[in-house]
């Protein structure tokens, strides 16, 4: 399983516009083949910084999403809202401590 974390830093009011876009598309993202989990987080001290957090079956599933027409369309609507270039990490869970 791949865990994908993407940091998105927005212009003023851009985070709210992105959240509207996300809410319109979240079901389609979550039900994209290979997507196992999807969340959006907001940085506690900076409301213009959001993170997407998702689980994918494998790298191939994530790449199919990232190169899909649906993603390209969504990204083209989100990108003008950014104050900085998005940062992304693909990770593999090493250990869970309970």
Would the pTM of this model clear 0.75, i.e. be above it? Answer: yes
Q: What local confidence, expressed as pLDDT, does residue 47 receive?
A: 97
Q: What local confidence, expressed as pLDDT, does residue 40 receive?
A: 98
Percentage of the chain modeled with pLDDT above 90: 100
| Number of helices followed by number of strands (H, E) in the chain | 3, 4
pLDDT tens-digit profile of 3-54?
A: 999 999 999 999 999 999 999 999 999 999 999 999 999 999 999 999 999 9
The CA-CA-CA angle for residues 80, 55, 66, to 5°, reads: 40
> Average pLDDT in the 87-93 region?
97
Structural domains in the chain, CATH included, are 2-88 (3.30.70.100)
């Amino acid at each position: 399983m791949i865990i994908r974390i993407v940091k998105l830093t927005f212009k003023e009011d851009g985070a709210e516009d992105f959240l509207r876009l996300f809410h319109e598309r979240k079901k389609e993202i979550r039900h994209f083949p290979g997507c196992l989990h999807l969340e959006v987080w907001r940085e506690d001290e900076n409301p213009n910084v959001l993170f997407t957090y998702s689980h994918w079956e494998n790298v191939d599933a994530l790449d199919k999403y990232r190169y899909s027409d649906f993603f390209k369309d969504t990204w083209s609507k989100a990108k003008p809202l950014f104050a900085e270039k998005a940062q992304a990490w693909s990770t593999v869970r090493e250990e869970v401590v309970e």
